Amino acid sequence: MSQHVHEHIDSVGTYVGILVLLLIATVATTLVSFIDLGNFSVVAALAIAVCKMLLVALFFMHVRHSTKLTKLVIVGGLMWLAILLLLTLTDFATRGWTGPGR
Amino acid sequence: MNTAVAVEEKENYLNNGYGLKSWLLTKDHKRIAVLYFITISIFFAIGGTFASLIRAELLTPPGDLVSSETYNKLFTMHGVIMVFFFLIPSIPATMGNFFLPMMIGARDLAFPRVNLLSWYLLIAGGILAIYAMIAGGVDTGWTFYTPYSTTYSNTYVITTALGIFVAGFSSILTGLNFIVTVHRMRAPGMTWFRMPLFVWANYATGLIQVLGTPVIAVTLVLVFCERVFHIGIFDPQLGGDPILFQHLFWFYSHPAVYIMVLPGMGVISELISTFSRKAVFGYGFVAFSSVAIAVIGFLVWGHHLFVSGQSLYAGLVFSFLSYFVAIPSAIKVFNWTATLYKGSISFATPMLYAFGFIGLFTIGGLTGLFVASLGFDVHVTDTYFVIAHFHYVMVGGTIMAYMGGLHYWWPKMTGRMYPEGWAKLSALIIFVGFNFTFFPQFILGYVGMPRRYHAYPDEYQVLHVLSTAGATVLALGYLMPAVYFLWSLRYGEIASANPWGATGLEWQTPSPPPTHNFEHIPVVTHDAYDYTTVPREVMEVGR
Amino acid sequence: MGTRLPLFPEQASTISVEVDHLLYYLMAVSIFFTLLIFGAILYFAVKYRRKSDTEIPPSVHTGFALEIIWSVIPFGLTMIMFGWGASIFFRERRPPQDSMQIYVVAKQWMWKLQHTEGQREINELHIPINRPVELIMTSEDVIHSFFVPDFRTKQDVVPGRYETSWFNATKPGKYHLFCAEYCGTKHSGMIGWVYAMEPKDYEVWLAGGPKGTMVEAGAKLFEDLACVNCHHPDGSGRGPSLVGVFGSTVKLVGGGTVKADEAYIRESILNPAAKVVEGYMPDMPVFQGLVTEENVVQLIEYVKSLTPPRPAAPNVAVSSAPPNR
Amino acid sequence: MEDSHAQAETLALREQFDTEAQQKDASTLGMWIFLITEIMFFGGMFAAYTIYRSAYPTVFGVASSSLNVTIGAINTCVLLLSSFTMVMAVRAGQLGQRNMIIFFLIITLIFGCVFLGVKAYEWTEKYEEHHMPGQIAFHLDGTPLQGPAKLFFSLYFAMTGLHALHMVVGVGILTFIILETKNGKYSADYYTPIDIAGLYWHFVDIVWIFLFPLLYLIDRHLPK
């Protein structure tokens, strides 16, 4: 039952590369926020944040090499966060809707 | 008697250390389970005392026994203690802790020290809650609705919230421990679909504990901040929205209902199988229905908010989703009933509780369909109808299962049998008392009696008197086991390793079990509930 | 003492009949399944009781078809519950357009009610039968809930906004009014009576009240609070004209629109800078703390009176434009 | 009795496990599940944030612009650097280089403390500007809606405060692990605690990755 864990030891170069990408993304998100993108600016900010999250998770947290179960746990956790946000929004986004004829 | 004790002096988890330290610093999941059992029994007694006082007050229409301040504190503390300090830890922390590792053939949970820590957290939370009660109590209702709890109540809200916060982490850690244990600690051959259904149920419960509890923790942190710093998150004066609190609160507290009842369903699966000597009908369906309930349970919380000012469309969405919980619940009930078909049915006390559970849970579940129906719920929400409904699920369901499981596993935990005659009598008294207490409340609710009322109009008195009378019977029913269980510790018949002729791994080791559960880690070669594996002589000795 | 044993509430409103019919359906389904389960358990328990200590019953295979059947059929029955309940709810939440309006202000621990004709009541509500009555409700402190069991209506009353509820009483009589959301120490004392009266009796009762309608009270406040100095009817003042505003869609500074309903007018009085009308400065003083919730609803009623009733409202759908929150 | 059991179990393999791989698997899974709990814990606040930002978009923009974006961005970089040094420490653990573990952990610790120091500075600044919701003199220029402005800062303090609390806990864990490494507890065969502490540290980093744009970068393009 215990699948043996193969230790993947990433090179220093990989980690440095990821760090550089993360720093660039930080500068990018800051600069992008000074450009008027309308409603899209939230999307841009979140998209960059999600990319950064993926870099940290996949490389620094070794999710790349993790078991399927770990990946399932992570995806599940994010799904539950989505449930919390989206179902709460079903209320707040439809406040005041009274339906057809009003 | 004495000779029997002498003969029985094998090493087991109970006699391998007697000092206080050997208990308070134990890492043995069985001892921790016993610690939990003692703790929550005390909380049950406290919560029960509050309930009795509430019923006594409601015997007469005017508020004459206690003042309205006191009454409000009584029902609040009854709810807080029963929900957070009894029902949520009840089955998982006692029987789950004790038997989940044994049932999958493990020596212990994955994280024994975390397990002990979670008991201490419950104690710490409990002490805070009890301190709050002694210091002056709290009167917000166990739901802590804002802005009453944040701005208007001048009782011990912060201390109580802190207590629940701490106890919440106890629950999280228990769930986490169970999940990891089930994934990583199964004995050789113990595949997922050979696991007893009790393990499945506790696994599903663990998912809810891990995913839901943090949300109420952070909500209580916000309530705390609102009271101390007046941050405005739930304050309409600053543009905050009190309904947001209700969303966050019920995001946890609705699934919490399943934290309470799922392990009970797991117990019932074990009982029904053992006492009809049949594999549970539709094993796979019952197993998956536990997980399905855990998942769907997170999608329905808005049905507590139908009249609260939630939007019309959110109401429709949540009502619709609520009915999906009915499918896995129905699957369970039908499969249990079908398990009896062509079985060999024994009427031992645990089985009586199992019958009681199925009956009462059926009524509790079906009235759940009533209150999920929008137009109907508008009328009965916040009335005694709802009180009756959730007591049928919580008391008629969870506590029936808890009592059934306790009788079932008592010989394994203590090495002694309980007195069967008394136990049957008390099971009967509890069933009758329960129905007398709570059935009239359905009618009361539909007629219009709102919940949390200290005084009420005269015409509701007859039903209230019935309910209080039933509660008296019920209290008697709960006192009897307390007495005969204690009695059995010393005078009970010595229990064999497998007094019921059951199949689980926990029955293949002596009663009480040795510290490391098994002499040798078992190798599992059969599906769960395969009664052909039980030796004939065990069945003959079995009662 | 309990002189009668009520097992069923009065059917005193149009909706109560519908809710009761839904109850009958729910009960029929429940009783059927309860009897089915209880009966099966009892029958099996007796028929298959253990006859010898060592017997091992034959194993019974799981019937896949059976599992599907007993999942799908009950689910179908519950979908009827959903649809039926939802249709009642939908009507319950949408007051008819010709409803007579009554303003409700809840506070710990009393109900304060105002009729547009000027009658004011505490913990008592007089209404005519056979006429839809819409309640426009707010709370001064915590959440309360307006509950009339005999009408089968209940609605939480939330501070900081208006909730509505409506009913059409069908039987003259005296009915319980309860606060159903726990609101503090004297929660169980926050009760009252609803008097449903024949329309002519209601007229008599109304006439016995004080002179001066809510509109008149609102108009007086409008002058006393000096609103009139800026909000000129012809739009020449520093504030926008309020004529014809109620029910219209207002353009706001910074883009966006808002429907001028009760909530918007309340917000504009208490916190005027929140949503400023296009073309105006946010320089109206804040009235939060200066006017009571009851004053606010009088002002709202006055503002409403400045909008002539639309002849046979041509039911314009506004739901396509999402509201601001 | 207890003693003999205690002796039977070594630090690297506790009595309830059969193999070291099983133990490492269990610990890692346990940590990940704990992190899921943390996601939901922060999730409650993110839900509140989402609701109020969509209700009061303009005020949130004004309030956000009052935060110091340069400091925020620099602090983000500090935290990312600390994540890098943390993963380097884990790598040193994998290779069994004890001195490198200690070296990188100390650097991580320093970065963590710098982050907290900067955070403390920012909070002080907010306090002096009367932007703290608990203050009676609370006032935010540029918007007439002081209530919702307060809401923004409540969320700001609650979220960054909760994050900082996690950082403090992280600093405690790192200190403990540095000491344990010094005592020679870890090797290439057993470095699970370092690995797990790393997961925690990176998670806290990820939370900040979201907090930074959500709190500091709303409507920056608008003229002040």
The nearest CA of chain C is from the CA of D159 a distance in Å of 23
What mean pLDDT is predicted for residues D31-50? 95
Please report whether residue B529 resides in a domain: yes
Band the pLDDT of C311: cuts 50, 70, 90.
Answer: low
Q: Do A95 and C315 touch (CB under 8 A)?
A: no
CA distance B13 to C8: 57
Instruction: State yes or no: pLDDT of C306 exceeds 90.
Output: no
Residue B97: half-sphere exposure toward Cβ, Cα within 13 Å: 29
The 8-class DSSP code of residue A94 comes to T
Q: Do B379 and C149 touch (CB under 8 A)?
A: yes
CA distance D219 to C313: 41
Q: Indicate the helix (H) or strand (E) that contains C246.
A: none
pLDDT at B480: 96
CA distance B307 to C155: 5
pLDDT at C310: 57
Q: Do A91 and B310 touch (CB under 8 A)?
A: yes
Q: Is A90 on the interface with D (CB under 8 A)?
A: no
Q: How many residues does chain A have?
A: 102
The nearest CA of chain C is from the CA of D127 a distance in Å of 25
What is the 3-state composition of chain C as percent helix, strand, coil, each rounded to the nearest 5?
35, 20, 40
What mean pLDDT is predicted for residues D169-192? 92
Tokens, residue A40:
């899209």
Q: Describe the crossing of helices B157-184 and B112-135 by its angle, rounded to 10 degrees.
A: 160
Could you tell me the domains of chain D? Answer: 43-216 (1.20.120.80)
Strand partners, C177: C192
* Listed range (A13-22, B4-13, B508-517) with the worst mean pLDDT: B4-13
Residues of chain B contacting residue A91, judged by C-beta atoms under 8 Å apart: 243, 247, 302, 305, 310-311, 314
The 8-class DSSP code of residue B508 comes to G
User: CA of A97: which chain C residue's CA is closest?
Assistant: C319
| Cβ(C107)–Cβ(C141) below 8 Å | yes
CA distance B537 to D191: 51
Q: Is C138 helix (H, G, I), strand (E, B) or coil?
A: strand
Tokens, residue B362:
């059926």
Q: Do C185 and B462 touch (CB under 8 A)?
A: no
Domain that residue A22 falls in = 10-61
Which chains are within 8 Å of B by 3+ CB pairs? A, C, D
pLDDT at B5: 46
The nearest CA of chain B is from the CA of A92 a distance in Å of 7
Tokens, residue C37:
């389960």
CA distance B276 to B268: 12
Strand partners, C277: C252
| Cβ(B96)–Cβ(B173) below 8 Å | no
The 8-class DSSP code of residue C13 comes to B
Burial class (CB in 10 A: 0-12, 13-18, 19+), D220: buried
Q: Please, which residues 153-212 of chain C have a Cβ atom closer than 8 Å to chain B?
A: 153-156, 158-161, 163, 176, 178-189, 191
Report the residue from C30, C33, C178 with minimal CB separation from B450. C178
pTM reported for the whole predicted model: 0.93
* Listed range (C121-135, C257-271, D42-56) with the worst mean pLDDT: C257-271
Please report whether residue A28 resides in a domain: yes
User: Could you tell me which residue, C320 or D65, shows the higher pLDDT?
Assistant: D65
User: CA of B187: which chain D residue's CA is closest?
Assistant: D18
Both A42 and A81 in a single domain?
no
CATH superfamily of C214-305: Cytochrome c-like domain (1.10.760.10)
Strand partners, C127: C196
The nearest CA of chain C is from the CA of B402 a distance in Å of 20
Residues of chain B contacting residue A88, judged by C-beta atoms under 8 Å apart: 244, 247-248, 251
Longest dimension (CA), chain D: 74
pLDDT at C260: 86
Domain that residue B49 falls in = 26-541
Strand partners, C137: C104, C163
pLDDT at D224: 61
Q: Indicate the helix (H) or strand (E) that contains C256.
A: none
CATH number at residue B244: 1.20.210.10
List the one residue out of C118, C72, C132 whose CA is nearest residue C216: C118
What mean pLDDT is predicted for residues B65-79? 95
List the one residue out of B479, A92, D110, A14 whose CA is nearest residue C324: A92
Question: Per residue in B22-40, pLDDT tens?
Answer: 999 999 999 999 999 999 9
CB pairs under 8 A between B and D: 131
User: Which of B112-126, B508-522, C294-308 is most confident?
Assistant: B112-126
Please report whether residue B18 resides in a domain: no
Please report whether residue B205 resides in a domain: yes
Q: Is A77 on the interface with B (CB under 8 A)?
A: yes
Which chains are within 8 Å of D by 3+ CB pairs? A, B, C
DSSP string of B90-106, one letter each residue: HHIIIIIHHHHHHHTT-
Amino acid at D23: Q
Report the residue from D15, D44, D147 with minimal CB separation from B239. D147
Strand partners, C101: C134
Q: Is D9 helix (H, G, I), strand (E, B) or coil?
A: coil
Q: How many residues does chain D have?
A: 224
Q: Return the residue in D18, D40, D53 with the most chain B beta carbons within 10 A, the one to mutate for interface testing.
A: D40
Both A49 and A71 in a single domain?
no
Q: Please, which residues 78-97 of chain A have a Cβ atom closer than 8 Å to chain C?
A: 92-93, 95-97
Burial class (CB in 10 A: 0-12, 13-18, 19+), D95: middle
> Considering just the CA atoms, what is the radius of gyration of chain B in Å?
23
Q: Describe the crossing of helices B461-491 and B29-57 by its angle, rounded to 10 degrees.
A: 150
Report the residue from C319, C322, C325 with minimal CB separation from A102. C319
Domain boundaries, chain C: 14-45+61-92, 100-207, 214-305
Tokens, residue B332:
């369970």
Residues of chain A contacting residue B298, judged by C-beta atoms under 8 Å apart: 80, 83
Specify the long-range contacts of residues D160-169, CB closer than 8 Å, at least 24 apart: D160/D119, D160/D123, D160/D211, D160/D215, D162/B218, D162/B221, D162/D41, D162/D42, D162/D45, D163/D204, D163/D207, D163/D208, D163/D211, D164/D116, D164/D119, D166/D38, D166/D204, D166/D207, D167/D112, D167/D115, D167/D116, D167/D204, D168/D116
Q: Indicate the helix (H) or strand (E) that contains B17.
A: none
Q: Do A98 and C317 touch (CB under 8 A)?
A: no
| Cβ(A25)–Cβ(A51) below 8 Å | yes
Q: Do A95 and C323 touch (CB under 8 A)?
A: yes
CA distances from D192 to A67, C288, C319, D104 (A): 16, 59, 57, 16
Q: Do D26 and B111 touch (CB under 8 A)?
A: yes
CB pairs under 8 A between C and D: 11
Q: Indicate the helix (H) or strand (E) that contains D224.
A: none
The nearest CA of chain D is from the CA of C324 a distance in Å of 7
Residues of chain B contacting residue A96, judged by C-beta atoms under 8 Å apart: 311
Q: Please, which residues 249-268 of chain C have a Cβ atom closer than 8 Å to chain D?
A: 254
pLDDT at C252: 84
CA distances from B166 to B23, B123, D160 (A): 22, 9, 21
User: Could you tell me which residue, D2 or B249, shows the higher pLDDT?
Assistant: B249
CA distance B367 to C33: 12
Please report whether residue A86 resides in a domain: yes
Both A55 and A73 in a single domain?
no
User: CA of C259: which chain A residue's CA is closest?
Assistant: A96
Band the pLDDT of D3: cuts 50, 70, 90.
Answer: very low
Report the residue from A18, A73, A89 with minimal CB separation from D32. A73
User: CA of B314: which chain C residue's CA is closest?
Assistant: C86
| Cβ(B58)–Cβ(B67) below 8 Å | no
CA distance D155 to B222: 10
Q: Is A11 on the interface with B (CB under 8 A)?
A: no
pLDDT at B237: 84
> Considering just the CA atoms, what is the radius of gyration of chain C in Å?
27
ipTM for the complex shown: 0.91
Both A24 and A56 in a single domain?
yes
Q: Do D147 and B237 touch (CB under 8 A)?
A: yes
| Cβ(C141)–Cβ(C148) below 8 Å | no
User: Could you tell me which residue, C323 or C165, shows the higher pLDDT?
Assistant: C165
Strand partners, C178: C147
CB contact burial B404-428 (16+ within 10 A = b; e otherwise): bbbbbbbbbbbbbbbbeebbeebbe
pLDDT at B9: 62
Q: Describe the crossing of helices B420-447 and B461-491 by its angle, rounded to 10 degrees.
A: 160
Q: Do A96 and C323 touch (CB under 8 A)?
A: yes
CA distance C2 to B463: 10
Q: Is D52 on the interface with C (CB under 8 A)?
A: no
Residue identified by tokens 């926020």 is: A33
Instruction: State yes or no: pLDDT of B521 exceeds 50.
Output: yes
Task: Sort strands C132-139 and C100-107 into parallel, antiparallel or unpaired.
Answer: parallel
Please report whether residue B426 resides in a domain: yes
Question: Per residue in B116-154, pLDDT tens?
Answer: 999 999 999 999 999 999 999 999 999 999 899 998 998
Quick one: how far is CA D128 from the chain centroid?
25
Residues of chain D contacting residue A30, judged by C-beta atoms under 8 Å apart: 69, 73, 217
Q: Do B340 and C41 touch (CB under 8 A)?
A: yes
The total of structural domains in chain A comes to 2
Q: Do A101 and C315 touch (CB under 8 A)?
A: yes
Q: Tell me which residues of chain B have a C-beta less than 8 Å from any C-beta of chain A.
A: 183-184, 186, 188, 211, 215, 241, 243-244, 247-248, 251, 298-299, 301-302, 305, 310-314, 317-318
Straight-line distance from the first to the last Cα atom of chain B, in angstroms, rounded to the nearest whole number: 20
pLDDT at C321: 38
Tokens, residue D24:
């490492």
Report the residue from D44, D83, D95 with minimal CB separation from A56. D83
CATH superfamily of C100-207: Cupredoxins -  blue copper proteins (2.60.40.420)
The nearest CA of chain D is from the CA of B180 a distance in Å of 6
CA distances from D69 to B485, D219, D220 (A): 66, 12, 9
CA distances from B513 to B274, B350, B451, C172 (A): 20, 21, 46, 71
Tokens, residue D193:
């605690």
Q: Torsion angle, CA of A70/A76/A77/A82, rounded to 10 degrees? A: 150
> Considering just the CA atoms, what is the radius of gyration of chain D in Å?
21
Question: pLDDT averaged over chain C?
Answer: 87
Question: Per residue in B251-304, pLDDT tens?
Answer: 999 999 999 999 999 999 999 999 999 999 999 999 999 999 999 999 999 999
Question: Per residue in D9-26, pLDDT tens?
Answer: 455 677 778 888 888 889
Residue A37: half-sphere exposure toward Cβ, Cα within 13 Å: 15
pLDDT at C319: 38
- φ/ψ of residue D188, rounded to 5: -60, -25
Please report whether residue B11 resides in a domain: no
Residues of chain A contacting residue B244, judged by C-beta atoms under 8 Å apart: 88, 92
Please report whether residue A3 resides in a domain: no
CA distance B402 to A52: 48
CB contact burial C168-194 (16+ within 10 A = b; e otherwise): bbbeeeebbbbbbbbbbbbbbbbbbeb
Amino acid at B248: L
Q: Is B319 helix (H, G, I), strand (E, B) or coil?
A: helix
Q: Is D75 on the interface with A (CB under 8 A)?
A: no
